[in-house]
A and B are shown apart, each in its own frame.
Chain A
């Protein structure tokens, strides 16, 4: 068995680095350490990936005998329980502590007094784990670098917030360690701990500013995630008692051949994944999470942590394919995709649009996992990769823009291209990557549609078809806003973004275009073999020939605007004022009103609040999805008991 010391390193190093950062209050030193640690983490992931690619790329099982570590893990869980209980009592949310105490005691009891669990590996490295490590490591590392720069601008702008950067950076790094642990573990007991760790990091980051709203939202996120964690714990303990095993791969294997013993744990773990991925009816916590400073939104609430739920569902997908759990997950995912994209239309707060779009796209990935055929997983994995990169870029960009214009309202970004050109171009690339041909997101959405047609899932086809129409609406109008000639063009703005922020965003933009261009390669080297590992067979939606054709079209679609731009510059034009029924004042942004005075022209996008507003749609769709969830879960449980 090959030794991979880089794995424990990746899990422990960020946690140690985080604790160290908490202790260092000298800003310059802390910044340097955070930068170096982020680079070390990225290098660690590089080593892991290199080691993997150089080996025979077969799944590797490690660490069978881990009694000491098991005790440490149990201790850590009890510590977390104490922490949550303390905070719940401090802020008088007593009942939420029960959601932590209950599952922790249950798991502890099972571990100490339950049946002896059969010997199995605790760490499992395969293509999916490696891919997740890449996403977490590269994007997480870049966001950690960005965070240091961002917080300088943030605290300059928000004087009222107590400066607790050390605390913020600590949580960010501990979270990275937990994420690595989560995606590399095969032991359900370990997974349970890392799961709770990510939930609690998220909770504490949301409450960073300690305002009334932040505290309320953080506790909402906490109880929803802990509720999922409770489901997870019950599922795990049930499986341990029934099968005397705590191995995830074992559970999936049993589920894939239709063993009854696996039905309940799979359903409960899938339920937990729904809460983590903020699917309906649990979407509200992610919207509330937007009060946190932007790096945490980028890292936890769009690029990585919410993908943990997706990751679990992808793992479970062979055990969900074609059964009731799969149907439930696919329906909830598809429904969330549609409803969230509706609500996003009515949002003018940039971060909220990003949040709803995240929920919506996560919904599509969840739906892909729920259908659980190799083709849908192929599409889902690509959605995950592209979404992680472009959303992370967009969040960082909105954060940097907010530091400069002191607003994140899309209406205030009118003419951003002429006021903050660099940030506007990054934003433009990020949004284009979310929905325009030829970028990866659209291609993945296309293959998702195709895979759902093949799977004969009528509901999902309808959800995807209508959802993509509404998705383009909210993105296009945002893009239009950025490039419109501005009534504020004259206003001088200071770009607050530091070199660290620009480096991170620049790398993201390049990364996205590179991954788009390397689509066929990623498909052949990573995603194809991953499907073989998961399903025993490979089944690409798009053949390599089609992918190569796509790359050709990508080049063409990039070339056209570029060449037209060069051509357009050479054309001589006569510049005139806009048409205003003849009441122009001579100034392009003004017109003469009925008193003969000049009035400024103000243009605004439409948000259709009365039709698709959050107030109108959110509660009914929560009620509906909750009803679907409860009915389906009762059917599943009933089916097992009878």
Chain B
């Protein structure tokens, strides 16, 4: 019973805190980026002001159905995170997340607007680029729980309570996951579908036709998703030792900083380079790691 209460607290904390953490991370991101570019940058709370303002605006859309598709994207992403923090099957979490991403694709493509359709097509290619690494990471977690003669498990709760940090056995999977995290977080050089910066070739790509409240919903969903992704990064570190939680926080802040650094030091690449790059890294880093783990 106690166990369930803790799980529910985790879920509640995620539901309530995730948008704040996500927004804050974005604020810090913008600040650090600005400093890297020798600008002062906006206040740390700027993302919240932006979203607040978007909610007050009149809703403009090309098609009414965009709202319902974006809402589905929003709720399914939250469901993903809630399932993750409840401690269920991690593969299942990512399956629900990919269904959510499909709804985002529909919201963009259904307008038949040229820029948003291009962006959506590239979004699909991004999905193809990161999916193998994500699924392999799940397989990796499963194999890591198996080490030492235990029964393997995909459950987040089991993975988080292992005797050793998963990263001890999964360095290759971790590298691949961090690599594709750049795609998931829409950071340069892989922000082909839509970008946080002005996007020269596609206007705003995927999000071109999202305005006002729709854009606000999209932004908040991204915050939820980023917190979930950071949770997965943390899962590589966390074990049954409480100190590991502190280590995990440090690691994920470092990873976040790394993403900001990559974002600010690289130029956008063509989608083919992204696809090839992420598949090669997945095959080499995660694949080799997989072979070693399976032969153990």
Residue ranges of A at the interface with B (Cβ–Cβ < 8 Å) = 414-415, 436-438, 442, 446, 449-450, 453-454, 456, 458, 461-462, 464-466, 468-470, 472-473, 476-477, 479-480, 483-487, 546, 549-550, 553, 556-557, 560-561, 564-565, 567-569, 571-581, 588-589, 601, 603, 605-606, 611
Contacts and interface: CB of A to CB of B under 8 A. Distances in A.
B208 to A, nearest CB: 5
B127 A469 contact: yes
Q: Which of A438, A442, A568 has the most CB of B within 10 A?
A: A568
Given A446-B95, A568-B65, A576-B60, A465 B105 contact: no
Contacts of B132: 465-466, 469
B139 A465 contact: yes
Interface string B259-296: 00000000000001000000100010001001100100
A453 B142 contact: yes
Given A437-B96, A561-B103, A569-B64, 11 more contacts: A461-B290, A468-B131, A469-B127, A550-B92, A564-B67, A567-B68, A568-B67, A571-B59, A577-B62, A601-B112, A601-B114
A483 B106 contact: yes
Contact of A557 (B61, B76, B120, B272): B76
B166 interface: no
A473 B127 contact: yes
B157 interface: no
A576 B112 contact: no
A485 B71 contact: no
Contact of A561 (B72, B110, B117, B139): B72
Given A458-B291, A465-B135, A486 B62 contact: no
Q: Which of A456, A469, A556 has the most CB of B within 10 A?
A: A469
Contacts of A546: 89
A472 B131 CA distance: 10
Contacts of A486: 112
Contacts of A560: 71-72, 75-76, 79
A436 B102 contact: yes
Contact of B112 (A464, A550, A603, A605): A603
A564 B136 CA distance: 33
Contacts of A572: 59
A484 B127 contact: no
A477 B75 contact: no
Contacts of A601: 112, 114
A36 B10 CA distance: 59
A579 B135 contact: no
A442 B95 contact: yes
Q: Which of A414, A415, A437, A461 has the most CB of B within 10 A?
A: A437
A594 to B, nearest CB: 16
B154 interface: yes
A568 to B, nearest CB: 4
Interface of B: 58-65, 67-69, 71-72, 75-76, 79, 88-89, 91-92, 95-96, 98-99, 102-103, 105-106, 109-117, 120-121, 124-125, 127-128, 131-132, 135-136, 139, 142-143, 152, 154, 203, 208-209, 272, 279, 283, 287, 290-291, 294
B79 to A, nearest CB: 7
Nearest to A591: B114
B131 A578 contact: no
Contact of B98 (A472, A485, A574, A603): A472
Given A465-B136, A469-B128, A476-B124, A437 B91 contact: no
B71 A567 contact: yes
Contacts of B208: 578-579
A580 B68 contact: no
Contacts of B98: 437, 472
Contact of A477 (B59, B121, B294): B121
Contact of A485 (B75, B112, B143, B294): B112
Nearest to B103: A561
16 contacts: A438-B99, A450-B142, A453-B143, A458-B294, A479-B102, A484-B111, A487-B112, A553-B92, A557-B76, A560-B79, A572-B59, A573-B64, A574-B59, A578-B113, A579-B113, A579-B115
A10 B155 CA distance: 46
B124 A477 contact: yes
Contact of B68 (A442, A476, A565, A606): A565
Contacts of B103: 561
A330 to B, nearest CB: 15
A572 B98 CA distance: 29
- In the A-B complex, the 7 residue pairs with the smallest Cβ-Cβ separation, listed nearest first, are A578-B113, A564-B71, A568-B68, A469-B131, A568-B67, A480-B109, A437-B95
A574 B60 CA distance: 5
Contacts of B89: 546
Nearest to B93: A437
A476 B71 CA distance: 18
Contact of B135 (A449, A565, A575): A449
Nearest to B79: A556
Contacts of B110: 480, 483-485
A485 B117 CA distance: 11
Nearest to A452: B139
Contacts of B154: 450
B287 A462 contact: yes
A436 B113 contact: no
Contacts of B91: 446, 449-450
